Amino acid sequence: MAYDGLLTRFPKEIKLFIAVFVCMLSVGFFTGLLFVNQTDSNTPAGIEENYLGNEEDEEAKVMKFEKGDREMLTIIHTHILSMSFIFFLLGGLVWLAKAPKKLKLFLTIEPFLSIILTFGGIYLMWSGVSGFKYVVIISGILMTLTFVTSASLVLWQCLRTQGS
């Protein structure tokens, strides 16, 4: 089945539909990153504080309490499901773009590994394995870079005219 570069051969209306979808997906993804930044969860100490609380710090500007079992399971459950769906849809579009097969394989498999490492790492850190805060940061950065690369590739392919 010849699917490599199929995206560039779609009618302009379908490419516009896909481009608008990827733009909206990006707005949602980056809004999530703004939330992470807002909660100071973009540093190892911030990640720990966000999930384990800071009740003992009397100088804290914002009081944070340790997440409970139900809250942690809800966070992990909803993020794994929604992020998997996001990367499944984006990955399907990546496979229709014209790009080297190994690049497409990386861009479509890596996010799923990062999802497990990021949210599994959050859970393990919350459970007491403190070192996983570094895994969470590294996998979160890699997931974001993969998203940006995939979304850019798809948008670029949607803007290309057939045969260029």
**What are the extents of the domains in the chain?**
6-159
Residue-level pLDDT at 135: 96
Backbone angles phi, psi at 25, to 5 degrees: -60, -40
The Cα–Cα gap between 160 and 153 comes to: 11
Spell out the residues 6+ positions from residue 47 whose beta carbon is closer than 8 angstroms to its own: 41, 122, 125, 133, 136, 137
* Cα distance between residue 136 and residue 25, in whole Å: 22
Confidence (pLDDT) at 163: 52
How many CB atoms are closer than 10 A to CB 141?
13
Is this model's pTM higher than 0.75 or not? Answer: yes
Mean pLDDT computed over 138-158: 97
Question: Tens of pLDDT along 84-137?
Answer: 999 999 999 999 999 999 999 999 999 999 999 999 999 999 999 999 999 999
* Position 70 confidence tier, pLDDT thresholds 50, 70, 90: very high
Ramachandran sector of residue 66 (left: φ over 0; alpha: ψ -120 to 50; beta: rest): beta
Distance CA 127, CA 121 (A): 10
Q: How many CB atoms lie within 10 A of CB 76?
A: 16
Closest by alpha carbon to 97, among 149, 147, 144, 158? Answer: 158
Phi, psi of 139 (to 5 degrees): -70, -35
Whether residue 7 contacts residue 15, with contact meaning beta carbons closer than 8 Å, is answered with yes
What would the two tokens of residue 12 be? 């302009």
pLDDT of residue 43: 87
pLDDT band at 61 (very low <50, low <70, confident <90, very high): confident
Q: How far, in Å, CA of 107 to CA of 88, rounded?
A: 11
Place of tokens 């969470």: 136
